[in-house]
Structure 1
Amino acid sequence: MTTSPLSRRRLLGTAGAAGAAGLVAGAAGGVAGTALAGDDTPPLSTVGSTTVMFHGKHQAGITTAPQSRGHLAAFDLLPDAGRKGAAALLRRWSRTAERLTAGRAVADDTAIALDAGPSSLTVTFGFGHSFFSRTGLEDRRPAALDPLPAFSSDALDPRRSNGDLWVQIGADDALVAFNALRALQKDAAGTARVRWQMNGFNRSAGATARPMTTRNLMGQIDGTRNPRPEEADFEQRVFVPGGGGAKDPEWMAHGSYAVVRRIRMLLDDWEELSREEQERVIGRRKDTGAPLTGGTETTPLDLEKTGPDGRPVVPANAHARISMPETNGGAALLRRPFSFHDGFDEKGVPDAGLLFVCWQADPLRGFVPVQRKLDRGDALSPFIRHEASGLFAVPGGCQPDGYVGRELLEG
């Protein structure tokens, strides 16, 4: 029997009802046996059919569960773009993101992701410090966007740092993520050029028997102490309040600030340590993520507990001890990183590590005090190198009749 190929729109229309069947088939290693009405093509799996709404109070990609593929990119506006060109670009980008996150094709679609569903695609937009001078909006630049201070562990490449505009793309399918990156780059033609771009990854959805905090390339569970939405102060830690708050302009209402760092992991040096030595550097067990003082991954560290030798079980310079909110005046970051690997050098040393992205309502009360303390004596510092950095103001989400940044650019 000859069947007509499914359009992407038609395929997505059936995905919600058929997702469970697709997931069961995937787990069994076979092809889904349940066909769509009038067609022998199997339905999308649950992973492919999952949609994250583009519109809303906050931009997606901040509290969204980490996806398995990610792209970070910064763009610089062309000299003659100005405020008008920037507004037109954000309008195009928002329309493109709206369509792609819903699993719909865009104009001049390249067919890269033609067979896939939305795969939890998110697209997040932000503004760098330089954006405001290039658009004549210096008087509307948030004070929280002042450049980050220098840290002794920095070895920053200015060519891969900062930028006028920042884009974060995440998806659970590599082709869906790349398709979004390519579409946004094409949208920017004539208005902005790519300043830098980085590719990242996480564990794939469904790769573990149960949901687990992801691991980084050092093998450590990464993100255990993240603030959680069910906590009473989550919103005030991560998001600018409605109306903009005392220090932020009104256009930043419900937005957040993203600190982005490319952190090279010196894996050859790290892997020379024994597991016990690695655990003392971090302050947690490598297998479970539990504190060295006992319990489970979510058990608080017992900073007062000592061993038979009278020394703290969690060393004074352990990364977990130094970075915890309780030792930093309550400063908390919502970490949402991707790992990266960009090949090997001529000596076989991996260029790999963490694309660190953290979110907070105020970077001067979030990232800066924590990083200053880490900079002064973190046991992990000899095994990492900060190679690129950026700070971006990420406004709140938009409604279907608007676009991201409209309150800034048209206010």
Structure 2
Amino acid sequence: MSSSLTPRRTVLLAAAAALAGVPGCGASREALLDDASADHLGQPGVVDGQPSSVILAGFDLIEGAQERAAFGKALSIFRSGQTSGVETTIAAGSTLFRKLGVGDPDGMQRLPGFPGERIDHRSSDGDVIIQVCAGGIDPCRRLVDQYVKESSRILKCRWRQSGFLPAHSEGETPRNLFRFKDGTENPVRSEFPKWVWDDRGGTFLVYRKIHMDVDRFLSLPTDRQENIIGRHRRSGAPLGSEEEKDLVDLFAKTSSGRYVIPVDSHVRLAHSRSDRGARMLRRGYSYDAGGGDQGLLFIAFMRDPALFVRVQQRLAGADAMNEFIEHRASAVGYVLPVAVLERFRNGDFGD
């Protein structure tokens, strides 16, 4: 990311400097984000264990409201809901920083359009995006309902979407509705400072609602399904391997000279080798809205959403799975570092 600074980024740098204990200086990643401190600086719901249920919601500031006061009040409401067993993660959308009159973080962008998507903009984006996770959907619903009610004079709920993790054993990678394991290639905790948290203890959230033609995909022979994904369905191992965590061998070929992992497979096109090793932390959920509307809530955290753009451009252009999926909603937000969030909540916007 660019290291260039504008005067409007003062509040973000001030928070980083305060955390580092060095007045007036930006803090290095080593000072801020060693393994012990990363979780402390970041919000919940990013690197914690993944609960079984989620509701995501997008909000817009109501026109005519005093934007800074309204956002500070909204943060107080959302922060008051942090209780044991229920996690609330707060992200600022690309439009919010302009409304507040503060500089947006390096890397902030609205996602471009991709071939084949059919985005419902009424169910996308927002000035504020929240993720509420719990061990069951009822606590999520109660808390989101409370947030909507208490913030109704300053925020308008633009959209909300619930999701769930299909049943799985503890420690097992969850499966999506295509019955394949989803999240095998996630970075491990020691890699979070490199790929997830930025220098201030923030991260970017990318959300995509992906409709899946489950019945048609599952009607395919298993070997065809596996060639589309690039992994064995039962074990989750890359094609040509036996264990889920085996390294993906992109160069292995069959005796006839074909790649073992097909050139149009999802695994090959999404592989981090094409991005110099850069990875994102995926925390996806399934959804089922009835009437055949079901699929994946793709939720991922990363230092720079440009990584998602690069990966999705490759997938949209050649992924064999495109025949069975359609992207229908989208959002990107900056998950504010806890220190910056508290400054905003208390009315300190750095001027």
Q: 1:404 to 1:353 in 2, by over 3 A?
A: farther
2:54 matched residue in structure 1: 70
Task: Tell me which of 327, 334, 345 is aligned to 1:393.
Answer: 334
Looking at structure 2, the residues matched to 213 and 405 of structure 1 have their Cα atoms a distance apart, in angstroms, of 37
1:83 matched residue in structure 2: 68
Task: Tell me which of 164, 180, 189 is aligned to 1:220.
Answer: 180
Task: Tell me which of 193, 198, 201 is aligned to 1:235.
Answer: 193
The one-character-per-residue Cα deviations of 1:171-213 (angstroms, maximum 9, x if unpaired) are 0122222221122112212000110000100135xx52x4200
CA shift, 1:92, in A, is 2.3
1:182 matched residue in structure 2: 145
Retained in 2: the 8 A contact 1:264–1:386? yes
2:96 matched residue in structure 1: 131
1:270 aligned counterpart, secondary structure:
helix
Aligned length: 311
Higher mean alpha-carbon deviation, 302-311 vs 62-71, is at 302-311
Retained in 1: the 8 A contact 2:235–2:242? no
Code of the aligned partner of 2:294: A
Gaps of 5+ in 1: 1-54, 103-117, 242-252, 345-349
2:190 aligned counterpart, secondary structure:
coil
2:320 aligned counterpart, secondary structure:
coil
CA shift, 1:378, in A, is 0.9
Higher mean alpha-carbon deviation, 315-324 vs 146-155, is at 146-155
Q: How does 1:294-305 map to 2 (within 5 A)?
A: 294-305=241-252
Code of the aligned partner of 1:140: G
1:113 matched residue in structure 2: none
2:252 aligned counterpart, secondary structure:
coil
Q: 1:152 to 1:408 in 2, by over 3 A?
A: farther
Aligned-CA RMSD value:
1.9
TM-score by length of 2: 0.84
Code of the aligned partner of 2:173: T
Looking at structure 2, the residues matched to 304 and 145 of structure 1 have their Cα atoms a distance apart, in angstroms, of 35
The one-character-per-residue Cα deviations of 1:50-104 (angstroms, maximum 9, x if unpaired) are xxxxx9311000001211110000011111221111112212221x223xx23xx
Retained in 2: the 8 A contact 1:396–1:404? no
Q: Determine if the alignment matches structure 1 residue 290 to structure 2 residue 232.
A: no
Looking at structure 2, the residues matched to 313 and 298 of structure 1 have their Cα atoms a distance apart, in angstroms, of 17
Q: 1:62 to 1:375 in 2, by over 3 A?
A: same
Retained in 1: the 8 A contact 2:91–2:333? yes
Where relative contact order (Cα < 8 A, 6+ residues apart) is larger, the structure is 2
Q: Determine if the alignment matches structure 1 residue 383 to structure 2 residue 343.
A: no
Task: Tell me which of 43, 57, 61 is aligned to 1:59.
Answer: 43
Retained in 2: the 8 A contact 1:258–1:360? yes
Gaps of 5+ in 2: 1-38
Q: Determine if the alignment matches structure 1 residue 324 to structure 2 residue 271.
A: yes
Task: Tell me which of 107, 110, 132 is aligned to 1:169.
Answer: 132
1:146 matched residue in structure 2: 109
2:122 matched residue in structure 1: 159
Q: 1:256 to 1:195 in 2, by over 3 A?
A: same
Retained in 1: the 8 A contact 2:186–2:282? yes
Looking at structure 1, the residues matched to 347 and 300 of structure 2 have their Cα atoms a distance apart, in angstroms, of 23
Q: 1:226 to 1:405 in 2, by over 3 A?
A: farther
2:308 matched residue in structure 1: 367
Retained in 2: the 8 A contact 1:292–1:314? yes
1:380 aligned counterpart, secondary structure:
helix
Code of the aligned partner of 2:318: G
The one-character-per-residue Cα deviations of 1:335-390 (angstroms, maximum 9, x if unpaired) are 1111100001xxxxx100011111101111x2111111112211111111000111
Q: 1:407 to 1:256 in 2, by over 3 A?
A: farther
Q: Determine if the alignment matches structure 1 residue 352 to structure 2 residue 294.
A: yes
CA shift, 1:404, in A, is 7.3
Larger Rg: 1
Looking at structure 1, the residues matched to 318 and 249 of structure 2 have their Cα atoms a distance apart, in angstroms, of 20
